Amino acid sequence: QVQLVESGGGLVQAGGSLRLSCVFSGGTFSTYTMAWFRQAPGEERECVAGISWSGRSTYFAEFVKGRFTISRDIAANTVYLQMNSLKPEDTAIYYCAARVGPITTTEARFATWGQGTQVTVSS
């Protein structure tokens, strides 16, 4: 069974940075498209960023372009989300997701999810 474990969340002041990590196990990491979603209290889950199995294609939501970077380390079976210039509206639980197929922002297309890691940005 493919499993994902996120870490790296925490409390940070506006303008600060965090790096989230997602460790993949139970499958062949290099064949999976990976993505990060987030969900704020009372809001629907939304896609933040995605990266193809090859690492050659990426997606970023408009609200994080220029601030966040997604990357993957095949040897470490890990996908990262580097978050810079954080804003209070970035406060949410961040989830790692995996699927076999192209990058998509549709959460239903992702078969495997991590448990989430809380990111809180103070003003």
**Contact at 8 Å (CB) between 23 and 29?**
no
Q: What is the pLDDT of residue 118?
A: 98
pLDDT per residue as tens, the chain (123 positions): 999 999 999 999 999 999 999 999 999 999 999 999 999 999 999 999 999 998 999 999 999 999 999 999 999 999 999 999 999 999 999 999 999 999 999 999 999 999 999 999 999
Q: What is the CA radius of gyration of the chain?
A: 13
Q: What is the pLDDT of residue 29?
A: 93
Q: What is the pLDDT of residue 57?
A: 96
For residues 34 and 24, give the distance between their C-alpha atoms in angstroms, rounded to a whole number. 10
Tell me the Ramachandran region of residue 66: left when phi exceeds 0, alpha when psi lies from -120 to 50, beta otherwise.
left
Q: What is the pLDDT of residue 6?
A: 97
